[in-house]
Chain A
Amino acid sequence: MFELFYREVSGSFYSWKGAVWIITASLIFSTVAYLLLTDKELSLMDQGEMLFTFGEIVVAFGVIMSAASASSTISGEVESGTFESLLLTPLTHRQIAIQKMLSVLTVWIILYLVSIPYLVVIASGTNFSWSAIFYVGVYGTLLVTAVSSFSVAISAKLKSSKSSMMAVLMIVLVLIAPSVFFATSLAKTDFGHGLESINPFSHAVNSLDSVLVDNEQSLLQQVGHIWPVLIFSAACIILFLIYTRRFDMKGEKV
């Protein structure tokens, strides 16, 4: 039943595809964590702010990683000529897509597990450890599920890794940029507030800020941020289920 999933996961680690993501992520996490705690100016930040910055990096890295990996799952098979043989397996088209999506999600889960020791170290001496681990996990998993779902759908629709990767990275950039690059400027305008209210990534970032900087750790206080992310994930999964019902090969339904 999950043969393809196992093959994808083991393949991504044997071929270093997934391993490189994880090792790169750990090197980035190490650099960021060490700088946050020891740099002359960065170390003066509040521990909550450090955790927020680190959490933001973990979620953003997870989203980018899943977008890059998932955007070539179907198109990669088509381009390498292995997709037909995959279609000959007893798996339905949707099962193939789901298992490929789950393999991307597995890499995220490993990445998230790798980030936990860093979160614990940065939060040492505060009561933020569990909240940081929980909320980074919740938002990361929801956003990675959403992004990998629509990435697989786009990959199945475009059947070109180059095109699908460009399209997916563009969407991810549109989602991430307002919160990461223009957060301060946008917070001053109504347009910015409007944009943030519909952007799921902004909701995730604002929620992490609220939990880790403003100490609003209760789940009830974060419901207003969680449900837009949930709706976005549900919409992406619906899109994924629609576009992966049957793969269209060379203009004909297979």
Chain B
Amino acid sequence: MAAGEQVRTRGGAGGAPALAIFQASLRALLTGRRWIVVAVLDAIFVLLAVLLATQTDAASHQLHLVELFHRLGLPALLPFVALLFSTEALGAEVEDRTLIYLTLRPLSSVSIVVAKFAAAFVITLAATWLPLLISFVLLGLNDTPAGQLPALLLAGAIGSAGYCAVFLLLGLLLRRALLIGAIYILTWEGAIAALSTSAAHLSVRFYTFGVYAGILRRDEFLNGEPYPAPAGAFIFLLLVVLGALWWTARRLRRTELK
């Protein structure tokens, strides 16, 4: 075959390079020690759900489920699981200098970033939905009207997407993305945004809670906790995801591999 003849062939059985990157990233993220931390976070969440289910009155289970999600799921489970997987999704290739095997292929940086985001998001979703589902089974089955499950799953999904997009960018920008991300979660979202409503407007957690509360529609469980309008919160998180992915793709395109 003459040089260049084959490379002009497009599509075919081997097409969908973004799918290939997604699959390879998924396989890479399924291994490694970060799973130990994720398993510990999941176990703590489930253990607390078990304790609440066995040690408290059934009539208060709905309230406890809301509290569990609000006090542990939102501030710890979602962001830390997303942080562990998303910073690794691109950051590992930056760190070990294998990024070249993606960027020097005939692919747009957008398709690389979207594939990486999808892999991190799917794994984060699996690792967060599982404990949320278990906690619902333990505490929320007597839910009337049945708003808990869709609220947990949808808020879990959109929150995970927001965190994954932001931390994917962080993994490309910073060498110590895991540490910086953890500091962001603990200090900005955990402390500053918790004390100041205006600061909360710049946190993924605030809008995720808005989506959750908006679907749940049970203000009696929320102790007057402020939350944004659900539709606005959803749109804001969507914009965060799109903005972070656009920035990551732009940065990837302009990154010099020294």
A interacts with B: no
Give residues in B with beta carbon < 8 Å to A. none
